[in-house]
Structure 1
Amino acid sequence: MDYLKNKAAPIREDRLAACGAYGGSCCDLSGQSKKGGCLFNTKRTFSQTQGCQLSLSLGMVASMRDSVVVVHSPVGCGANMLQMAGINKVFQQLRSASARGLRWINTNLDQVDVIQGGEKKLRQAVLKAEQEFRPEAIIVMNACVPALIGDDIDSILDDLQTQVNARIVPIHCEGFKTRIQATAYDAVYHGILRNLVGEDKARDKRVLPEDPLEEAKRQARISRTVNLLNVGSMSRVDEVELIRILNALDLEVRVLPCFSHPDDFTYSYEAALNVSICATHDDYFVEHFQSKYGIPYVMRTIPIGITNTNKWIRDIAAYFGIEEQAERFIDAENRELNQALEPYRRQLQGKKVFVTGGEIRIMTTAELLYNLGMEVVGLRGYHFDKYGEALLDDFLQDVPGVDDKVFNIGAGQLFEQANLLRRIQPDLYVGHLGGNGSASKQGFSIFPLFGQSNDYLGYQGVFEVATRVARIMRNSSFNRNLGGNTKLPYRESWYSEDPFRYIDHSALEEHEAEVVANG
């Protein structure tokens, strides 16, 4: 289906039947996810909190160079940008000499605007962005309030496009529409694909080489070019490592969409292959490119850990027919890396680890830690869909002994996590910042699942993770002391209850009963 005909991307519950609530074992999840969409119907009778897709969308677009972000919302939603202001320019400079830092305008909707509409303020904000900054693109983020009161931002922006030079990119990322925060990736890609990609979106008519030899060279370059997709989920050092790997295969690399310039998208379809690091992030983009421009993609796994980095490279090499060259590279890298990892494997052998985060990243990170000698005792994913299902089957083969280990699905449900951690008692907790704070207050050593200044991907990422985890595990006294002197806001009786008591699995049970009844 061509979703780009619509003004906004569909939510993931509708497009991928994504599941946001589950509690069971890895093996059970693998089996139940294959039962005709019944997993999608699980729900919670109580939910503690959840993420908002607006904040995730802002994280993607805020890094775009020579652009201004207009957040059409009350001031509280726009305040999400404050957490990005300090580091944005630094990371832009690491990737390009043209860095202007973070520029945004908030329409600051108030109670009067909720009654009378916020369209006037939106017009004023877009015109101010044009007059004040003269950007290449104005990215308009539509939040919950204007969507609820019915502001027709697309009609307004179509009219404003005739009055400004900047390309206007509307992003529909209203948080109330979905419980699956990853819909934010689709929302941003939808806006980029509709408004920045394609020769008809070019600011100036390009001139192709008249010399046949020069045109042949251009086509040869395109035939060896890959789009490496980064939605903010890999650091600059991660990018450097993956570019190093791809360059070693004699491939040219274009990194999109984060930290890109609006012009970088215009001819982004002039590539031989789209290379994703995570299906959760990129499936919307790569599948559109394949259907419209005929560009294939690689999206099976994320290159975290030796096993999955090897798979990632082999998938890319298979497309270009350079398998022998890739195998020589893989053998050399694996041999050197395994030798360097030996002292860390001895130190980490048998240590128990619990991993939480995005469905794809947690399984590949867990495989990395297993390869370092650690025991994977549990996983928590923010959501689960068909891409997680495919990777889970590989995970169960790559990491023996995890079939009966717990797999919990649910973003923001820290009360479930607290219960699970009390039961499992891991030596190390791996997760994002919000969950890390809660786990540390229970006395567990913590390791960030991602950091903008750290290396996680490729072979260099394996070594960096090993050294950092080993350093953390050598001294856990801080977290033990913190756990002994703080208390989470849950009664002791909660820890003795089933951690999944608020997850309704009745749809799965009804489906299983129906299967049994029908023989």
Structure 2
Amino acid sequence: MARRPRLEPRETRAEATQAFLGRAADLAAEFAAGTPPRRIRSFSEAAPDDLRPALAILSEIPDLGLVVHGPRGCGVRAPGPAPLAVTDLDQRDTVLGSGEVLAETLRALDAACPVAAIAVLGSPVVAINSDDIRATVAALGPELGKPVVWVRTEGVRSAVPATGGDAAAEALLQLVETQNGPREPGLLNLLTSTRSPELAALAGQIEGLGWRVNILPAGARVAEIALAGRAEASLVLAPDLLGLFAEGLETRFGVTRLDVALPLGAQATVAVLRRVAALGRATGGGGPPAPPRPLSEPLAGRRLALALPTAWGLAAAELIGDLGGTVAVLSVPHLDRSHAAALGSLAERWPDLQIHVGEGQGFELAGLLRRTAPDLLLGAGDAVVVALRQGLPAAVLDPARLIGAAAPEVLTEAVDIALARWALVRGAVQNARPGYTPGWLKRSPDWHIKQEVR
């Protein structure tokens, strides 16, 4: 059996960092100067691994069975319709190995659920007992008569959880390879990890230009994923997780990746639709849309903090600036070479913008919010909880809602919600247990972020 290429961690493949707190201008200068210094945490409040994002992506495929090879607790996942089984390894399995347990679990899942394919995800325990997942997968595929693919999330490969998106992308590409066929003119892949009404509206606009849209992997079936290699182009709406999937479709199957900014706001959405229309004219599609109306400034005078996935956070920060607001804090899970241009643009606009890089690091975010005192925070639920405990208005902002020309209205509505509800939640927050002791909050929020010595 030929050896498969090694799955490179994000730190190696894209010079990613998951530990930084400082000025946008300083971090942008490091990327501009070449390879940025690698930083580590000597203390981490939480350490998400690459299994979680891989599960979040693959669990949205309803007819893809998932088998997590590890202890029962490794089966915690984002909710999704995909059937899930866990091999439930015990102490003996951890030491002596458990290849037969994996094979039995695969057979049991296939017998219990009508799935079109099965994906096997490793866990850190596999790095201890050295189970050969690849050999089991290769043997069970022909036996079960359907694709069985390996998702390489075993071990602790990377400190950047988005590496799990790369592992999921590799598995998705294996599903494409099993049913590759001739090119289908007019087919466009819309690559996303979530769905929303705004996404459906964008797909409708693209279809109005003469294309057939294949939305995947979120909500897609295995047969639709198999069609991805026959498409003419791919538009990526989750570049931080599915960028490698788009790259693989381009290099292995010749599916053009559209190099455009995320369709966030009228101007960016029109740019995307014009790019698609330029390709679509060859298939009888309609003309490009009309130019957008000039933006007003409904956020003038507002200082915001954002806590969003990296690509969406950078794009949303730019839009907030166009709407007259100022971003004082931007908290993202990681930053890598693909974000350098957008980071540089933000640094030119707001050199002193505080960039916080780290997932699940509530103490760092709490200290930063206390120091910078923005008017409010928008973003993920865990960041909203941190902000509220620090006495800061906050509201959840789903990046999927920002797709399309209505993004300014979504942003301003979220700001209004955060401010309007603050009076209601302030009393409850003041009586709640503090998230961190006064001693912790006296510390500098980046005291434990160190530059790695190479």
After superposition, what is the alpha-carbon deviation per residue over 1:268-291, rounded to whole angstroms, capped at 9, x for unaligned? Answer: 222221111243122212222222
Q: Distance in 1 between matches of 2:6 and 2:111?
A: 28
Corresponding position of 2:198 = 238
Q: Is the 8 A contact 2:378 2:414 kept in 1?
A: no
Corresponding position of 1:60 = 57
Corresponding position of 1:229 = 191
After superposition, what is the alpha-carbon deviation per residue over 1:83-129, rounded to whole angstroms, capped at 9, x for unaligned? Answer: 51xxx4xxxxxxxxxxxx44211111111211221212111111111
Quick one: structure 1 residues 455 and 74, their matched pair in 2 at CA, closer, same or farther if it must change by over 3 Å? same
Are positions 1:298 and 2:248 aligned together? Answer: no
Letter in 2 for 1:413: Q
Q: Is the 8 A contact 1:279 1:299 kept in 2?
A: no
Quick one: structure 1 residues 328 and 231, their matched pair in 2 at CA, closer, same or farther if it must change by over 3 Å? closer
Corresponding position of 2:210 = 250
Q: Distance in 1 between matches of 2:44 and 2:286?
A: 47
Alignment match of 2:14 (pick from 13, 16, 22): 16
Q: Distance in 1 between matches of 2:164 and 2:59?
A: 13
After superposition, what is the alpha-carbon deviation per residue over 1:416-454, rounded to whole angstroms, capped at 9, x for unaligned? Answer: 111110111222212212222222211222222327xx6
Q: Is the 8 A contact 1:70 1:140 kept in 2?
A: yes
Alignment match of 1:49 (pick from 46, 71, 80): 46
After superposition, what is the alpha-carbon deviation per residue over 1:259-317, rounded to whole angstroms, capped at 9, x for unaligned? Answer: 11111222322222111124312221222222222222124432223343344334444
Count of residue correspondences:
451
Quick one: structure 1 residues 5 and 253, their matched pair in 2 at CA, closer, same or farther if it must change by over 3 Å? farther
Q: Is the 8 A contact 1:223 1:272 kept in 2?
A: yes
Secondary structure in structure 2 of the residue aligned to 1:266: helix
Corresponding position of 2:115 = 135
Alignment of 1:92-491 (within 5 A): 101-174=81-154, 176-194=156-174, 196-198=175-177, 201-202=178-179, 222-232=184-194, 235-319=195-279, 329-331=289-291, 334-335=292-293, 338=295, 345-346=297-298, 348-396=299-347, 400=349, 402-450=350-398, 455-491=401-437
Quick one: structure 1 residues 138 and 506, their matched pair in 2 at CA, closer, same or farther if it must change by over 3 Å? closer
Secondary structure in structure 2 of the residue aligned to 1:144: coil
Q: Distance in 2 between matches of 1:163 and 1:506?
A: 48
Quick one: structure 1 residues 123 and 277, their matched pair in 2 at CA, closer, same or farther if it must change by over 3 Å? same
Q: Is the 8 A contact 1:231 1:257 kept in 2?
A: yes
After superposition, what is the alpha-carbon deviation per residue over 1:425-484, rounded to whole angstroms, capped at 9, x for unaligned? Answer: 222212212222222211222222327xx6221113443333343233234113432442
Quick one: structure 1 residues 444 and 306, their matched pair in 2 at CA, closer, same or farther if it must change by over 3 Å? farther
Q: Is the 8 A contact 1:8 1:187 kept in 2?
A: no
Q: Percent identity?
A: 24
Q: Distance in 1 between matches of 2:95 and 2:452?
A: 41
Q: Is the 8 A contact 1:241 1:460 kept in 2?
A: no
Secondary structure in structure 2 of the residue aligned to 1:162: helix
Quick one: structure 1 residues 133 and 44, their matched pair in 2 at CA, closer, same or farther if it must change by over 3 Å? closer
Letter in 1 for 2:21: G
Quick one: structure 1 residues 475 and 449, their matched pair in 2 at CA, closer, same or farther if it must change by over 3 Å? closer
Q: Is the 8 A contact 1:226 1:252 kept in 2?
A: yes
After superposition, what is the alpha-carbon deviation per residue over 1:388-411, rounded to whole angstroms, capped at 9, x for unaligned? Answer: 1122234446xx3x1211112122
Letter in 1 for 2:151: I
Shift of residue 56, structure 1, vs aligned partner: 1.3
Q: Is the 8 A contact 2:176 2:225 kept in 1?
A: yes
Q: Is the 8 A contact 1:305 1:364 kept in 2?
A: no
Q: Distance in 2 between matches of 1:143 and 1:112?
A: 16
Q: Distance in 2 between matches of 1:505 and 1:431?
A: 28
Corresponding position of 1:95 = none
After superposition, what is the alpha-carbon deviation per residue over 1:50-79, rounded to whole angstroms, capped at 9, x for unaligned? Answer: 21211111111112122221111111111x
Q: Is the 8 A contact 1:444 1:483 kept in 2?
A: no
Alignment match of 1:71 (pick from 64, 68, 89): 68
Corresponding position of 2:35 = 37
Query: Which runs of no fewer than 5 residues in structure 2 stay unpaired?
Result: none
Q: Distance in 2 between matches of 1:420 and 1:51?
A: 21
Secondary structure in structure 2 of the residue aligned to 1:38: coil
Query: Which runs of no fewer than 5 residues in structure 1 stay unpaired?
Result: 89-100, 209-218, 511-519
RMSD (Å), alpha carbons: 2.7
Q: Distance in 1 between matches of 2:439 and 2:345?
A: 38
Quick one: structure 1 residues 288 and 156, their matched pair in 2 at CA, closer, same or farther if it must change by over 3 Å? same
Shift of residue 175, structure 1, vs aligned partner: 5.9
Secondary structure in structure 1 of the residue aligned to 2:136: helix
Quick one: structure 1 residues 394 and 277, their matched pair in 2 at CA, closer, same or farther if it must change by over 3 Å? farther
Q: Is the 8 A contact 1:279 1:301 kept in 2?
A: no
Secondary structure in structure 2 of the residue aligned to 1:354: strand
Quick one: structure 1 residues 59 and 278, their matched pair in 2 at CA, closer, same or farther if it must change by over 3 Å? closer
Corresponding position of 2:25 = 27
Larger radius of gyration: 1
Q: Is the 8 A contact 1:306 1:368 kept in 2?
A: no
Quick one: structure 1 residues 197 and 304, their matched pair in 2 at CA, closer, same or farther if it must change by over 3 Å? same
Shift of residue 37, structure 1, vs aligned partner: 1.3
Q: Is the 8 A contact 1:45 1:503 kept in 2?
A: yes
Corresponding position of 1:93 = none
After superposition, what is the alpha-carbon deviation per residue over 1:193-243, rounded to whole angstroms, capped at 9, x for unaligned? Answer: 12x113xx23xx98x8xxxxxxxxxx7xx34321110123xx231321220
